[in-house]
Amino acid sequence: MFNWRSVFNPFEKYSEKQLLTVGILFFIIGCAIGYFYNLTFDGAIDIHYLKGKQTLKNAFLENAIIIFIATSVLFILGKAFNRKTRLIDILNVALIYRIPIYLASLFILFPFLQKASEKIVNDLAENKLKIDSPEILLISLAGIILVVFIVFAIYLLVKGFKIATNIKKWQHTVVLIITLIIIEYLTLFTIHNFLN
């Protein structure tokens, strides 16, 4: 049965098989979004429009690289914190945390947001951009919503990692946050240097 706890902490309740199934399903959806809407997921928490055409191979590889790097780095850290940490739990964390990012990518595809964005770019080029224009307001609002999605993704990652490793000390959480920054740079570096 649906409850908000399953949304905010799915790792507490659902079995590894259920999480893996949902994670793989959203992985496929994420690849499809990237391919059909010319988006690039070029970092652990990044979504960007692509100037050229996104290929199916790259859409798949980008997401696969992110999940592979996140799983590998977090698994090593998890093992260092708690030797009972299982690979499947970390893999599920790496798959599930990306769901809000895929949803956020759908959000930025709304036509009225794209129109507003185009108008801002045009106004800026013609030097007639007003700071209180409805487009600026709309884009700012969309930016806030996007940040909420990204924060929720990080929240899911931290929550899932804490359950997978049973860490409780604040020092562990600090190390985890630093590791997330490392993962972000590692994924950005790998995708930009070996893929695009």
Site residues, another protein (CB under 8 A): 11-16, 19, 84, 86, 89, 163-164, 166
| Nearer Cβ to another protein (98/162) | 162
| Nearer Cβ to another protein (83/128) | 83
The secondary element (H helix, E strand) that includes residue 191 is helix 170-194
**CB distance 175 to 165 below 8 Å:** no
Q: What's the min distance (Å) between Cβ of 99 and another protein? A: 17
Q: What's the min distance (Å) between Cβ of 113 and another protein? A: 37
Please name the residue that has the structure tokens 């093992």.
79
Q: What's the min distance (Å) between Cβ of 15 and another protein? A: 6
| Nearer Cβ to another protein (149/161) | 161
**CB distance 87 to 58 below 8 Å:** no
- Listing DSSP states for 17-60 in one string gives HHHHHHHHHHHHHHHHHHHHTTEEEEETTEEEE-SSPPPHHHHH
| Nearer Cβ to another protein (31/95) | 95
Residue 10, both tokens: 């799915």
Q: What's the min distance (Å) between Cβ of 23 and another protein? A: 13
Q: Coil, strand, or helix at residue 104? A: helix
